Amino acid sequence: MFSGIIAAVGQITHITARDDGAATVRLTVDAGRLGLDDVGIGDSIACSGVCLTVVDKQDNCFFVDVSPESLACTVGLAAPGPVNLEKALRLADRLGGHLVSGHVDGVGEVLRFDPVGDNRLLEIRAPENLARYIARKGSISVDGVSLTTNAVDGAAFSINLIPHTLASTTLGCLQTGSRVNLEIDLIARYCERLLSFSNCSAAPATCPPDRPETPTRALSR
């Protein structure tokens, strides 16, 4: 689990095909300022919003394997370039953004990236099947960055990016036509799941007693 607060911008430096019969690739990622002293083999690191497992590390680089399905359903991992990095949350960490699973729900397209003073107005068109989960002033993850929507119009939504976000993440490099990884708010996902059962006439659950009943003894005569 992650918070969407990017700790560092890393760099995919090498992509190597693995001879595993499944078209899996291994990425070499320069961690930049992330720091890997507390990262162990098997730990999770979000790379531009995609939760990946560290399979090896060397100096300031870590290595992750990416399946064909992940490559097909996301962007930003199939070629060398910058990636937003975040280590998995610990229970004692501050939740500065919102709960992010690192499981990308779809890929959006940047419609506008307009300067507004020293900020940027970012407008993204999400896949139609995700539109119902996106609410005004709600949370959404864009390339792993926790952001708050300003306005929603159908499948399109807009976000204001402050200078810190532009400088500290890969979002400052976006342009019209760029594609981005999107993850909807977990709360919206579970709310829909709960509501889908609201009209079901499920049989009431039968709770077991606190303790088994004691058999009635026949009185001796």
* pLDDT tens column, 141-179: 999 999 999 999 999 999 999 999 999 999 999 999 999
**Dist CA 186 CA 191 (whole Å):** 9
Nearest to 123 by CA among 150, 144, 105, 83: 150
Q: State the fold for domain 106-195.
A: Elongation Factor Tu (Ef-tu); domain 3 (2.40.30)
Q: Could you write out the DSSP letters of every residue in 81-150?
A: EEEEEEEPP-TTS--SS--B-S---EEEEEEEEEEETTEEEEEEEPPGGGGGG--TT-EEEETTEEEE-S
Question: Which pLDDT belongs to residue 106?
Answer: 97
Predicted pLDDT of residue 42: 98
φ, ψ of residue 50 in degrees (nearest 5): -105, 120
Tokens for 204?
A: 């009431």
What pLDDT does 208 receive?
Answer: 52
CA pseudo-torsion sign 105, 110, 115, 121: negative
- What pLDDT sits at residue 15? 97
Q: Can you give the pLDDT at residue 202?
A: 54
The list of the chain residues with pLDDT below 70 reads: 199-221
pLDDT at 19: 85
Q: What are the residue ranges spanned by the domains of the chain?
A: 8-87, 106-195
User: How far apart, in whole angstroms, are the C-alpha atoms of residue 14 and residue 78?
Assistant: 10
CATH for 8-87, options being 3.40.109.10, 2.20.25.90, 2.40.30.20, 3.40.50.720: 2.40.30.20
Is pTM, for the whole model, over 0.85? yes
